[in-house]
Amino acid sequence: MDPKLLERYHSQAGAAAYRGKYRRSWIRRLSHRREMQIVRRALRRAGTRGVVLDCPCGAGRLAPVLLERAEHVRCVDVSEAMVEQARDALAPFVERGDVALHVASADALPFDDGDFDTAVCHRLIHHMADPEDRARVFAEMARVARRAIVISFSDDTTRKARSQRRRGVKRNRHTLTPQALHAEAAPHGLVPKGDPVRLNGMTSLVAIQVFDVVEPGA
């Protein structure tokens, strides 16, 4: 991840700003609602239930949606400031014991093999330009999830991506084709379940891929 962006996520002010980002204007609220719709579609396709990992959790905006299907959510982020924002935002869920929070990195998770039904990784790997960084995240997600992983990426095949390429727009996101994503996930025993779930391809690069977890090489 870009060190400047990571520094912002680690700061109190940056974490507070990220928490407010999706409520700042009607257009942000609409975009958050639409994004949560594709998260729901992906979770339905994954058949998510039981205990679910949300990493990175940021300020905790996914947890209420995950709890529509999960019994318990463990929220993990490398930034302590973000985890504090999430703890505050999710206080009623934390008090009920539905959510627990941890500070840890996605490539070194403090959990045992197969601790989760589904591991959700939303809005992380598009920040990773180095395939080896993504490989470490895939490996950890595949290790801790028994059944499925649900991972977002910036889709290089959307209409927005194609239009940006034509116009030579410089992006601060690392885009992948679904085929490249599948090829990177395969060595970790991750088999794509259907096509990516996409937001309106004209307005967004965000797509979510569901993978079944099988034995590597099976």
Dist. CA 72–CA 96, nearest whole Å: 10
Site for ligand SAM contains 123 (CB under 6 A): yes
Nearest to 147 by CA among 79, 214, 204: 214
Let me know if 53 is exposed, middle or buried by CB neighbors in 10 A (0-12, 13-18, 19+): buried
CA distances in angstroms from 106 to 20, 54, 75, 114, 218, listed in the order given? 23, 10, 11, 15, 25
* DSSP summary character for residue 186: G
Taking residue 15's Cβ as centre, other Cβ atoms within 10 Å add up to 23
Handedness of CA 98, 9, 198, 137 (dihedral sign): negative
Q: Note whether 14 binds ligand SAM by CB under 6 A.
A: no
Residue closest to 202 by CA, chosen among 156, 159, 157, 154: 159
Site membership for ligand SAM, residue 39 (CB under 6 A): no
Query: CB nearest ligand SAM: which residue?
Result: 58
Residues from 73 through 112 that contact ligand SAM (CB under 6 A): 77-79, 82, 105-107
Least gap, CB of 133 to ligand SAM (angstroms): 8
Binding segment for ligand SAM (CB under 6 A), chosen from 116-124, 160-168, 172-180, 205-213, is 116-124
Q: Which is nearer to ligand SAM, 37 or 179 (CB)?
A: 37
Instruction: Considering the complex, state which of residue 137 and residue 181 has its C-beta at the smaller distance from ligand SAM.
Output: 137
Cβ of residue 41: shortest distance to ligand SAM, in angstroms?
Answer: 16
Q: Is residue 151 a contact point for ligand SAM (CB under 6 A)?
A: no
Q: How many Å separate Cα 177 from the centre of its chain?
A: 17
206 binds ligand SAM (CB under 6 A): no
Q: State the nearest-atom distance from the C-beta of 210 to ligand SAM, in Å.
A: 16
CB of 109 vs ligand SAM, minimal distance in Å: 9
- Convert 17-42 to b/e letters by CB count within 10 Å (16 or more is b): ebbeebeeeeeeeebeeebbebbbeb
Candidate segments 54-62, 158-166, 170-178, 194-202, binder of ligand SAM by CB under 6 A: 54-62
Out of 46, 124, 185, 208, point to the residue binding ligand SAM (CB under 6 A).
124
Would you count residue 43 as binding ligand SAM (CB under 6 A)? no
Other C-beta atoms within 10 Å of 216: how many? 12
Which residues of the chain form contacts with ligand SAM (CB under 6 A)? Answer: 1, 6, 9, 55-58, 61-62, 77-79, 82, 105-107, 122-124
